[in-house]
């Protein structure tokens, strides 16, 4: 039987990037995918939600047209056309990944893999045939799945998960988002923009875990400004179907009736049925445990991405994928450095963050100073009519190195790249401030926030208030 250098289980953003890099490095690669290439990210996550986000924010801008001196009579949202556009984008990108596989001579097998032993995977193909695939090294990249909530099982008619909500047939008059988190907050903004009345509940007080406290405060303010009904810290305890939808009872005794419910309580590693236990893989809560080289405890088996239960981020999975193949193919120093893992959240305004938060600095006993600069003090922000939010820069007191950058505001996700480079390369305040930032751009807010750490922001004005 043919022996591959690398066999990868799962063609999401972790697995497919690993496959292409391994091929570039000269390896013979086989990748096994049970559904669609691109994984959750491309098919049911990052990409379709951003396509939908674009429709929603554009619709919102159309309704604000008058304030820009424009007339836009009777703008209307057509969900069927929005969903069709999403589907087209997803299909095109999927084909793009498959083309990359062909170009790099990566063998793509559609089927479900079962790890029989290190180096050997039994695949039940789409056609129902059994095949054995052998490789010197195996990479598990099977991703994660939406976590279910016992009191609100998905029926995909009234109660949805983050996957089925992308195929909604109509815009709900009211939507109760349970669980919050990144997906919950993103969908809240999308459906608010499309005209739904939004309710949100979750166990914790914070809409998104791990955000810097100043961003959390601002995000909650944005939600209140949009008149979301917030029940943070008041989790649901029961639910019943009603004529008009679903009535959810909360711990406090409050009852909320909405037309539809979206459950976003989290994700679980997709490790069931892979044969992990059979080969003695070290697991915790369903997550395959790995070291900084993405090695599992079983020689010759690596794991990357959501199935490792670390950062559930597509780009982190891709990065782990690059590290895993480098290491598997002989670069023994290849390792994941977690000190600068960026994250972008597509609320409106966007949120983007890298490095340590104020709470993390305090928790770890790291002395820090911070600076804040509001976008509304920038000419560019005023010109484009996007003035909400701010940039927060955090520097270690001892070294003056930038250890955290946190943005809530226009184009935050794009502004994040420079911040990530700064935190990753441990840039000092002086080095960052000594870099010319083009005018008029939103990136000036980064420069101002960094200068504000030393009390030197040029355009920050406190009005003596």
Partner 1 sequence: MDGDTLKISQDHVWVRLDAEGVRLGLSDFAAEALGKIIYVDLPEVGAEVNRGGPFATVESGKAQVELTSPVSGRVARVNDRLAEEPDLVNQDCFGKGWLALVAVKDPTEIEGLMTKAEYDLFVAGAAEE
Binding site for partner 1 (CB under 8 A): 221, 224-225, 374, 376-377, 382, 387, 461-465
Catalytic annotation present for 439: yes
- Smallest distance, Å, CB 464 to partner 1? 5
State the DSSP code for 383.
H
330 vs 464, beta carbon nearer partner 1? 464
User: How many other β-carbons are positioned within 10 Å of the β-carbon of residue 82?
Assistant: 22
Calculate the dihedral angle through the C-alpha atoms of 446, 448, 453, 455, rounding to the nearest 10 degrees.
180
| Dihedral sign for Cα atoms in the order 102, 113, 42, 344 | negative
130 vs 221, beta carbon nearer partner 1? 221
- Smallest distance, Å, CB 407 to partner 1? 15
382 vs 397, beta carbon nearer partner 1? 382
67 vs 71, beta carbon nearer partner 1? 67
What angle, 0 to 180 degrees and rounded to 10, lies between the N-to-C axes of helices 181-194 and 46-63? Answer: 40
User: How many other β-carbons are positioned within 10 Å of the β-carbon of residue 398?
Assistant: 9
Burial of residue 25, with CB atoms counted within 10 A of its CB: 0-12 exposed, 13-18 middle, 19 or more buried: middle
- Smallest distance, Å, CB 230 to partner 1? 10
102 vs 217, beta carbon nearer partner 1? 217
| Upper half-sphere CA count for residue 386 (Cβ side, 13 Å) | 18
- Smallest distance, Å, CB 219 to partner 1? 12
- Smallest distance, Å, CB 465 to partner 1? 5
Q: How far apart are CA 412 and CA 375, in angstroms?
A: 11
Burial of residue 92, with CB atoms counted within 10 A of its CB: 0-12 exposed, 13-18 middle, 19 or more buried: exposed
- Smallest distance, Å, CB 432 to partner 1? 25
Q: Is residue 440 reached through a cis peptide bond, with omega within 30 degrees of 0 on the bond before it?
A: yes
Q: How far apart are CA 223 and CA 218, in angstroms?
A: 9
Containing H/E element for 453?
A: helix 444-453
Catalytic option among 315, 327, 439, 459: 439
221 vs 439, beta carbon nearer partner 1? 221
Q: Which residues are catalytic?
A: 439
């Amino acid at each position: 039987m043919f022996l591959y250098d690398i066999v990868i289980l799962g063609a999401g953003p972790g697995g497919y990037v690993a496959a292409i890099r391994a091929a570039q490095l000269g390896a013979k690669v086989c990748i096994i995918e049970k559904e669609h290439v691109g994984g959750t990210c491309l098919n049911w996550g990052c990409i379709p939600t951003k396509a939908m986000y674009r429709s929603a924010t554009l619709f919102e801008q159309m309704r604000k047209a008058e304030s820009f001196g424009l007339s836009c009579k009777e703008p209307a949202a057509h969900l069927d056309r929005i969903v069709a556009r999403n589907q087209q984008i997803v299909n095109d990108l999927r084909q793009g990944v498959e083309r990359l596989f062909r170009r790099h001579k990566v063998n793509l097998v559609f089927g479900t893999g079962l790890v029989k032993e290190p180096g050997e995977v039994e695949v039940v193909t789409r056609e129902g045939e059994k095949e054995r695939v052998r490789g010197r090294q195996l990479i598990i990249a099977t991703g994660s799945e939406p976590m279910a909530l016992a009191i609100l099982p998905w029926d995909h008619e009234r109660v949805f998960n983050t996957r089925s909500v992308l195929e909604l047939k109509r815009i709900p008059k009211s939507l109760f988002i349970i669980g919050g988190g990144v997906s919950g907050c993103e969908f809240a903004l999308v459906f608010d923009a499309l005209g739904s009345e939004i309710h949100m509940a979750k166990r914790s007080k914070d809409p998104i875990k791990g955000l810097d406290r100043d961003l959390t405060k601002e995000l909650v303010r944005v939600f209140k400004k949009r008149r979301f009904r917030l029940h943070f810290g008041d989790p649901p305890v029961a639910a019943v179907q009603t004529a008009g939808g679903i009535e959810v009872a909360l711990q406090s005794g409050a009852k909320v009736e909405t037309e539809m419910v979206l459950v976003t309580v989290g994700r679980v590693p997709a490790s069931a049925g892979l044969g992990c236990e059979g080969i003695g893989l070290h697991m915790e809560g369903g997550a395959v445990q790995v070291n900084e080289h993405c090695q599992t405890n079983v020689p010759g088996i690596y794991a990357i991405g959501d199935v490792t239960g670390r950062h559930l981020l597509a780009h982190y999975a891709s990065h782990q994928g690059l590290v895993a193949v480098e290491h598997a193919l002989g670069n023994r120093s290849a390792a994941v450095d977690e000190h600068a893992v960026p994250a972008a959240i597509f609320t409106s305004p966007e949120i983007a963050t890298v490095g340590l938060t104020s709470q993390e600095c305090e928790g770890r006993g790291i002395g820090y100073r911070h600076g804040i600069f509001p976008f509304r003090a920038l000419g560019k922000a005023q010109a484009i009519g996007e003035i909400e939010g701010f940039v927060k820069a955090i520097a270690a007191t001892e070294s003056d190195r930038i250890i955290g950058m946190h943005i809530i505001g226009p184009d935050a996700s794009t502004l994040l790249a420079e911040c990530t480079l700064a935190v990753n390369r441990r840039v000092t305040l002086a080095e960052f401030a000594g870099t010319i930032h083009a005018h008029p751009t939103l990136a000036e807010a980064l420069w101002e926030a960094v200068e504000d750490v030393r009390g030197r922001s040029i355009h920050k004005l406190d009005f003596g208030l």
